[in-house]
Amino acid sequence: MAGFNRREFIRRGAAGAAGLGLILNGEPVAVEAASPLPKPAAPGDRVNVGFIGFGIRGNILFESARKTGQANLVEVCDCYKGHLERAKERTDGKIDVNYAQYKKLLDRKDIDAVVIATPDHWHAPLFLDAIAAGKDVYIEKPMTHRIADGQKMIDAARNANRIVQVGSQWISSSQNRIAKEMISSGKLGKVTKVMAAYNRNSSTGSWNYPIPPDLKNGVNFNWEEWLGGAPQRPFEAERVFQYRKYWDYSGGITTDLFVHLINSIHFILGARMPSSVVATGGILVRHDGRQVPDTLDALFEYPEGFHVNMASTFNAESVVGNGIHFLGTDGTLVLPLGGSSMTYAVDSHREGYSYSIDSWPVALQKKFMDVGNRREEAARKAPPRKEITAKDAADPTTLHMAEFFDCVRSRKQCGENAEVGHRAAAAGHMVNLSYVAGKKVTWDITSGRAVA
């Protein structure tokens, strides 16, 4: 992948962020944080990729892999034949398709890496089988469906010397990278609190995705294969195409939305795992047969010395509130969801003396204010807030996949390797455990387990 690798990406991002002192001088700043994507590689130099799962996210990852110009798209496997027809359409009939037999895909010696984009309950089995077959793995977030799966997956990848990239792609955006550089360089002082939210207010945003009208189990869909190791039950189309509503196949809000926020916070602040989590929530409006809450709030404590307040609801959408707010002793940085902009505000540290001494005699007030720099401290004003626009060469998913293909060839570790992906998912699972148990959950560092 000539001209593009992770170290160069970080170097350029940091170089752009290092000059951000200019944002205090009056005008918004645009930061060029990423070099262009490399020229398409020759077919013989590309990574041969197979895709397991070709639903909503699988389609997106397929197109992102194509955009990188660094992958040969070899085969797609799915339990619904309609998805396979769509894969054929996207490639003018050139790609191989595989109906519900993923092990045949893994047996192919001409496939170097696999992209796993299935429901969460299939993540660990597919990952472990892919690693055992000698494949490198790009796996959609969350990496795990259960905390206990994480260490098994880490160990398997490490022992087999396989490359892993977990798909919380925001950390590949220049927005996240510049935020990391700004905070690590001290522009916010000490960050003590983070507020994060990811809200939606639509039926499809609440995972009530449409069901294909031609769907017929046993004809063009294989329910038994899709169900896998999940509890056995009669076929229900809603559980397939709206699987995030059910505990058997998903962790709901925490593993679909919170995991993105958690991973960005970990990346930007250099954190690993929360020491404790407490959560509350419920199904307040979306009474559509779902088991997971449509509204969820969680409080995280981190041993690095900051707290996180994280929230989501599917019953209202606040454009202002969505995103991540980093609150430091010297300033605030706001990262909107899915954007390239950020807002940076410097704290004035203005002292409110007039409020607290107005009950004193006037002469005593004057005498007090004339000591030291108190009049200056009371009059101090913060510089105006500044907008930072961070320009990327491609969307974060494409950049994330480009890094994966580069690492497959170089054998360097990806930015969101199995350890990083496990920690982000485990923190999300702690939220669900607290919600279900109705009490605080702590993280045992020694055992790597959550304790309620």
Helix (H) or strand (E) holding 123: helix 123-132
pLDDT range class, residue 423, cuts 50, 70, 90:
very high
Residue 272 predicted with pLDDT over 60 = yes
Evaluate whether 31 touches 16 at the Cβ level (below 8 Å).
yes
Percentage of the chain exceeding pLDDT 90:
87
Q: Residue 341 has what pLDDT?
A: 85
Q: Given the structure tokens 């619904």, which residue do they identify?
A: 80
pLDDT given for residue 5 in this prediction: 44
Distance from C-alpha of 293 to C-alpha of 1, rounded to nearest angstrom: 43
Terminal Cα-to-Cα distance of the chain (whole angstroms): 46
Looking at residues 250-279, what average pLDDT do you find?
98
In a domain, 249, yes or no: no
Q: Using DSSP, how many helices (H) and how many strands (E) does the chain show?
A: 16, 17
Q: Is the pLDDT of residue 106 over 70?
A: yes
In a domain, 306, yes or no: no
Average pLDDT over the chain, rounded to an integer: 92
Whether 242 maps to a domain, the answer reads: no
Domain count across the chain: 1
Residue 136: give the domain boundaries.
6-172+394-422
Confidence band, pLDDT 50/70/90 cuts, at residue 1: very low
Average of pLDDT values for 161-166? 98
Tell me, what's the pLDDT at 69?
Answer: 97
Percent of the chain surpassing pLDDT 70: 91
Span 144-154, mean pLDDT?
A: 98
Q: Per mean pLDDT, which of 11-25, 73-87, 372-386 is the most reliable?
A: 73-87
Which CATH number is 49's domain given? 3.40.50.720
Query: For position 36, what pLDDT does the model report?
Result: 66
Task: Assess if residue 211 is contained within a domain.
Answer: no
Across the range 206-231, mean pLDDT stands at 98
Tell me the average pLDDT across 189-207. 97
- For 295-352, how does the pLDDT look when each residue is reduced to its tens digit (9 = 90+)? 999 999 999 999 999 999 999 986 667 999 999 999 999 999 877 789 999 999 999 9
CB atoms within 10 A of CB 305: 11
Q: Look at residue 342 and tell me if it is in a domain.
A: no
Q: Answer yes or no: is pLDDT of 365 > 90.
A: yes
Determine the 3-state secondary structure of 257 from DSSP: helix
What's the rounded mean pLDDT across residues 281-302? 98
Task: Tell whether 131 is covered by a domain.
Answer: yes
**Is residue 31 scored above 90 in pLDDT?**
no
pLDDT given at position 23: 42
Distances in Å between the Cα of 71 and the Cα atoms of 2, 47, 285, 342 are 14, 5, 43, 32
β-bridge mates for residue 308, sequence order: 194, 300
Residue 144 lies in a domain: yes
Residue 340 lies inside a defined structural domain of this protein:
no
Q: Grade residue 392 by pLDDT with cuts at 50, 70 and 90.
A: confident
Query: What is the pLDDT at residue 30?
Result: 62
For 7-146, strand residue ranges (E) read: 29-32, 47-52, 71-78, 96-99, 113-116, 136-140
What is the band of 38 on the pLDDT scale with cuts at 50, 70, 90?
confident
Instruction: Give the pair of three-digit tokens for residue 49.
Output: 């990729």
Instruction: Indicate if the pLDDT at residue 413 is higher than 80.
Output: yes
